[in-house]
Structure 1
């Protein structure tokens, strides 16, 4: 991307560190579908418990960062942090229902259109024109994720039309979340954004779960443990992603997090004996190749010698 790097990401070492943290966050979030499956509660309710269990730890971490620029919990939350929370609540709710209503293939492919939305938004509204090689990398990464989903297969689902729409809108909500967090990180610490966005999103998901008549409370001790685990993954995973978004272009970051479905597929293979066939493996390799190409193509251009 042609966007100027922030001061924090102006050196190769700083950019490499941010990329490492982003990959760590994406890997952590890749385990979320496993715990959602084990949560023993409704789709939106699982999202509510994810944020509710994360909030005490986020509050503690944010309070301890009061001495850092843009940190702490003092004052009212910023509009961008609240927008990020609303977008994330929509992302979780639509994603969970998309998986329930349509095929795994459709839900995965449509949800992973986030980099397209982010790149288009940055190009049109932020004048961040992507390089042709970056666009190729986006196509490879999404194609690899799509191949993984198609190889995994799955029934059409009870309501494919609504499920496909929900999955497509998930990509839109997650893209807006990326852009809101990236903009907020210019003036606020990641811990503060994470706390206020989670506090904004939690009641929205609870209201959605109640309106849809979902079971709110997990039906087993294992379900409670899974919900608590979702909270920990949220702090570690989304917290790392939010931190990295202050140091990397949002379009580049949105491509890197496409390693999430690869991690989820490997975790499902290990934990639930879900077959990981050759086509899925090929799709995973293509996705990783696209991610690596996107990061390489987004590196700063060397200055032109006069």
Structure 2
């Protein structure tokens, strides 16, 4: 029986994976609205989002890795710094521009991942990657439609949305290295 990376997942495991993916996508999508509705500032909101998740993630890491989980390597620490930057600028973008602009600018992160992988890691960019990037951007455009607009009053928020994508891309690449 083939148990390699391309082996088919058992139906229950596949269903759980799809459910987890859907729940994560819903939670990430709803987070924008919760940040807007929060009665605390953007940085307190970002802090509490991560602080409340920490105990659950710590138990999970200890169960999976044992004591080794308590000693992160350099790439994991760097990923944490990039994630903090992502949250910092994401919350600024949510409050500094329209939800549509914040979302569409943040979804450019795959473009930055590919660009950094190519420039920094010297990874080859395949046609499949380019096609995936085109689909990603087309999907973001389709979701946002005509809601995306640039206004001088929101330029700092728009810039924060773009910086969010850059930090998330760096986080994604650092996590890949940490694994």
Interval containing the TM-score (normalised by the shorter chain): 0.7 to 0.9
Cross-structure match for 1:118: 113
2:21 equivalent to 1:23? yes
2:118 equivalent to 1:84? no
Structure 1 residues 42, 181: CA separation in 2 closer, same or farther (over 3 Å shift)?
Answer: same
Cross-structure match for 1:49: 48
Q: How large is the Cα RMSD of the aligned pairs? A: 2.9
Q: Is the Cα contact below 8 Å between 1:104 and 1:154 reproduced in 2?
A: no
Q: Is the Cα contact below 8 Å between 2:92 and 2:160 reproduced in 1?
A: yes
2:178 equivalent to 1:180? no
What SS is found at the alignment partner of 1:30?
helix
2:101 equivalent to 1:106? yes
Separation of aligned partners in 2, 1:120 and 1:9? 29
Separation of aligned partners in 2, 1:22 and 1:184? 22
What SS is found at the alignment partner of 1:98?
helix
Superimposed CA distance per residue, residues 166-213 of structure 1 (whole angstroms, 9 cap, x where no aligned partner): 11110100001111111111xxxxxxxxxxxxxxxxxxxxxxxxxxxx
> How far did residue 107 of structure 1 move?
2.2
Superimposed CA distance per residue, residues 124-151 of structure 1 (whole angstroms, 9 cap, x where no aligned partner): 3334323224312312221221342243
> How far did residue 91 of structure 1 move?
0.7
> How far did residue 20 of structure 1 move?
4.1
Normalising by structure 1, we get a TM-score of: 0.49
Cross-structure match for 1:171: 165
Q: Is the Cα contact below 8 Å between 1:103 and 1:155 reproduced in 2?
A: no
Q: Is the Cα contact below 8 Å between 1:110 and 1:171 reproduced in 2?
A: yes
Separation of aligned partners in 2, 1:172 and 1:182? 15
> How far did residue 39 of structure 1 move?
2.8
2:126 counterpart (128, 131, 137): 131
Cross-structure match for 1:35: 34
2:136 equivalent to 1:141? yes
Structure 1 residues 179, 49: CA separation in 2 closer, same or farther (over 3 Å shift)?
Answer: same
For structure 1, list consecutive stretches of 5 or more residues without a partner in the other structure: 1-7, 66-70, 186-306
Which of the pair is proportionally richer in helix? 2
Cross-structure match for 1:95: 90
Q: Mapping of 1:65-84 within 5 angstroms?
A: 65=64, 71-74=65-68, 76-84=71-79
* Higher normalized contact order (CA 8 Å, seq sep 6+, divided by chain length): 1
What SS is found at the alignment partner of 2:39?
coil
Q: Is the Cα contact below 8 Å between 2:118 and 2:124 reproduced in 1?
A: yes
2:147 counterpart (152, 169, 175): 152
Separation of aligned partners in 2, 1:177 and 1:28? 19
Bigger mean CA offset, 23-32 vs 148-157: 148-157
